[in-house]
Amino acid sequence: MALAKTIPGASPRMVERLSLYRRVLQQTSAAGSHSTYSHELAAACRVSAVQVRRDLMTVGYSGSTKSGYEIKPLLVAMDTFLGNTGPVDVALVGVGHLGRAVLAFLCWRHPRFVPVAFDRDTRLTERVLDGVHCLPVEQMADTIQEQQIRIAVVCVPATEAQRVSEQLVAAGVRGILNFAPVTLFLPSYVFIENIDISVALEKVAFFTG
């Protein structure tokens, strides 16, 4: 995966692991714990304890062998590293079942990301979905330019994904989360993260004995 931005010590896999650690820490904290050990975090995320300690050192946090990591300040350090500060506008294109699921998820579970939704179906574009006005796709480029939106989620059918992504990039988008089961061909300065349900399911089928 080519990177749109290069951060010393941060690979996409590492950022993925940090997000996972954070989710586990939030769960552990909500369950009433104040501290955790690298081996506990490792078991929950199914990575090695050495990997956990190395990743958390990159974030600038180190635990003690005796009492482990204090969860609250660790979460603050992770938020700072991951840049979890202030709202981020996100363009969501395609409001079918998948788009609706993503929209609901962002609105209710992840208020940091503020979605603007687009669809070509006028029956959808006259409605407010999960508190978000859905705009006609004809307004996509102008809205992205005006609001300087840099991130988009592509939930359109496979046949539309390449064309839509090119329009997004032309309007200023530099990072795309792509749910369409096709490989997008875009300039290398665009960061692409693919979520492919069939790739994931094939992996599960392959490793299930």
Binding site for a copy of itself (CB under 8 A): 1-5, 7, 10, 12, 15-16, 19-20, 23-24, 27, 44-47, 82-84, 88, 90, 96-98, 100-102, 104-106, 109-110, 113, 150-151, 153, 158, 174-177, 181-183, 185, 191-209
Q: Which is nearer to a copy of itself, 128 or 207 (CB)?
A: 207
Type of residue at 88: V
Least separation in angstroms between residue 14's CB and a copy of itself is: 10
Q: Which is nearer to a copy of itself, 47 or 135 (CB)?
A: 47
Q: Which is nearer to a copy of itself, 65 or 148 (CB)?
A: 148
Could you tell me which of 112, 22, 6 has the C-alpha nearest to residue 59? 22
Supply 88's token pair: 């981020």
Pairing type for strands 175-178 and 191-194 reads parallel
Instruction: Measure the CA–CA gap between 125 and 114, rounded to whole angstroms.
Output: 18
Residue with tokens 């064309």: 163
| Residue 10 burial by Cβ neighbours in a 10 Å radius (0-12, 13-18, 19+) | middle
Instruction: Measure the CA–CA gap between 172 and 126, rounded to whole angstroms.
Output: 26
Q: Which is nearer to a copy of itself, 66 or 83 (CB)?
A: 83
Least separation in angstroms between residue 209's CB and a copy of itself is: 4
Could you tell me which of 158, 105, 159 has the C-alpha nearest to residue 129? 105
Least separation in angstroms between residue 8's CB and a copy of itself is: 13
CB atoms within 10 A of CB 148: 9
Least separation in angstroms between residue 31's CB and a copy of itself is: 12
Q: Which is nearer to a copy of itself, 95 or 137 (CB)?
A: 95
Least separation in angstroms between residue 137's CB and a copy of itself is: 19
